[in-house]
């Protein structure tokens, strides 16, 4: 029997991004072994929650309530002036993503964007078009991007995190480095 993961509006494929991994571990929140766990350690005073919380307990908010945990930094969402219900959904009921310095959830059209994972080299080649925009991090000229592409690897440094606006479809990026 295969179990479908809950649907996360702001992180539509947490398995593909590596935020959720297959595991037979028992969830520390609900006590069930459902075949998947959140890979990262959420922001919490409990420092040992990595790979011990199931996606269902993230989705329904139980993990956030039980461990006073958040899965993303609320600062960029609050600064963007988003509705508190959106901030709550992204930070308390959506799997976060792994970064070097700290996550920056991208916003557009008065909403949080969907996290799509690390950019590929092909994604970065689109920076010169109007379809892609770096919204956080360093400013990159097309010459900088061209030089970067020679050595760029997803999950490396610098890291480019790809997002899609849920309303207009624009692709946006956050940038981070070690």
- Residues contacting 50, CB < 8 A, separation 6+: 38, 39, 40, 41
Mean per-residue pLDDT over the chain, rounded? 87
Q: Give pLDDT, residue 134.
A: 61
Tokens 């030089």 correspond to 147
* Domain span holding position 129: 110-176
Name the nearest CA neighbour of 29 among 1, 71, 74: 71
Please write the tens of the pLDDT for every residue from 99-133.
887 788 999 999 999 999 999 888 877 765 444 55
| pLDDT band for position 162 (cuts 50, 70, 90) | very high
Residues 144 and 73 in one domain: no
- Give kind and range of the element (H or E) at residue 144: helix 142-149
- Which H/E stretch holds residue 76? helix 75-79
Asked if the model's pLDDT at residue 87 lies above 70, the reply is: yes
Helices and strands in the chain: count of H runs, count of E runs: 6, 8
The tokens describing 145, both together, are: 């991007």
What sign has the CA pseudo-torsion 50, 52, 54, 57? negative
**The two three-digit tokens of residue 66, written as one number:** 């039980």
**Are 60 and 10 in a shared domain?**
yes
Q: Which of 41, 65, 98 is the last residue of a domain?
A: 98
Residues 33 and 66 in one domain: yes
How many domains does the chain divide into?
A: 2
- Between 96 and 160, name the one with better pLDDT: 96
Q: Is the pLDDT of residue 152 over 50?
A: yes
Phi first, then psi: give them for residue 129, nearest 5 degrees: -90, 170
pLDDT of residue 127: 63
Mapping DSSP to helix (H, G, I), strand (E, B) and coil, where does residue 136 land?
strand
Considering the domain boundaries, does residue 104 fall inside one?
no
Give tens-digit pLDDT for 26-52: 999 999 999 999 998 898 988 788 889
Return phi, psi of residue 150, to 5°: -60, -35
**Which pLDDT band holds residue 1 (cuts at 50, 70, 90)?**
very low
pTM: 0.88
Which of 36, 67, 98 is where one domain is finished? 98
Residue 156 lies in a domain: yes
């Amino acid at each position: 029997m295969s179990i479908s993961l809950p649907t996360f509006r702001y992180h539509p494929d947490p398995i593909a991004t590596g935020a959720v991994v297959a595991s037979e571990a028992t969830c520390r929140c609900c006590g069930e072994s459902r075949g998947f766990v959140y890979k990262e350690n959420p922001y919490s005073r409990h420092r040992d929650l990595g790979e011990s919380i199931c996606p269902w307990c993230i989705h329904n908010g139980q993990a956030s309530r039980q461990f006073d945990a958040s899965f993303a930094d609320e600062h960029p969402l609050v600064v963007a002036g988003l509705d508190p219900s959106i901030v709550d959904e992204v930070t308390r009921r959506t799997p976060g993503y792994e970064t070097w310095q700290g996550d920056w959830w991208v916003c557009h059209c008065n909403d949080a964007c969907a996290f799509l994972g690390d950019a590929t080299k092909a994604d970065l080649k689109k920076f010169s078009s109007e379809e892609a925009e770096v919204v956080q991090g360093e400013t990159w000229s097309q010459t900088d991007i061209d030089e970067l592409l020679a050595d760029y690897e997803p999950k490396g440094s610098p890291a480019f995190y790809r997002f899609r606006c849920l309303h207009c479809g624009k692709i946006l990026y956050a940038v981070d480095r070690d």
